[in-house]
């Protein structure tokens, strides 16, 4: 299969607290992407500083990382053809008010600061984020018996 890649998708504390984990994960499974990493974690400030490195020093940074430390996060890694781009489409626009109905944010969120999930925005970001949140041995390489029914 060409253009197979991996992406990092996190259900943020608001999504976990609202009981949306299974609904969010099912969107990726139903689309045909393969789950290769899954864990629940209380993120440390150090991890969040690394994850959001491009935002360090911005006025919203402290509030954003405090929110991300306010409860558990469900961290996942998905694999499939064009999964980074398609994952962003499944999630919807970062600002839920700009997200179309049918997207995760369009269906489950209203405010930017409570947009229920994070998704990598590029293959490079995905690789960096996956390596931050997961150890290599926490990712599972496996063959899906459905692959021939999903990919040509």
Q: What is the pLDDT of residues 82-116, one digit of tens each?
A: 999 999 999 999 999 999 999 999 999 999 999 99
CA R_g for the chain: 15
Q: For 11-37, what is the mean pLDDT?
A: 98
**Band of pLDDT at residue 3, cut at 50, 70 and 90:** low
User: Binding site: which residues?
Assistant: 12, 60, 88, 94, 105, 115
Give this prediction's pTM. Answer: 0.95
Among candidate residues 27, 34, 51, 118, the one labeled active-site is 118
- Inter-residue contact 29 to 9 (CB < 8 Å): no
- Cα separation, 115 vs 118, in Å, equals 8
User: Binding site for ATP: which residues?
Assistant: 12, 60, 88, 94, 105, 115
Give the chain's domains with CATH numbers. Answer: 6-150 (3.30.70.141)
**118 given a catalytic annotation:** yes
Has residue 50 got a pLDDT over 70?
A: yes
**Band of pLDDT at residue 63, cut at 50, 70 and 90:** very high
Both structure tokens of 60: 């919203």
Has residue 2 got a pLDDT over 70?
A: no
């Amino acid at each position: 299969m060409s253009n197979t890649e991996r992406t990092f998708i996190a259900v943020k504390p608001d999504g976990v607290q609202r009981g949306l984990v299974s609904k969010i994960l099912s969107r990726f499974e139903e689309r045909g992407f393969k789950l290769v990493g899954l864990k629940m974690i209380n993120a440390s400030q150090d991890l969040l500083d690394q994850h959001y490195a491009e935002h360090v020093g911005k006025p919203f940074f402290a509030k954003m990382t405090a929110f991300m430390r306010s409860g558990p996060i469900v961290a996942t890694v998905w694999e499939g053809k064009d999964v980074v781009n398609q994952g962003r489409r499944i999630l919807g626009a970062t600002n839920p008010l700009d997200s179309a109905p049918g997207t995760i944010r369009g269906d489950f969120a209203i405010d930017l600061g409570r947009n229920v999930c994070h998704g990598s925005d590029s293959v490079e970001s995905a690789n960096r984020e996956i390596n931050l949140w997961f150890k290599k041995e926490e990712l599972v390489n496996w063959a899906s018996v459905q692959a021939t029914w999903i990919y040509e």
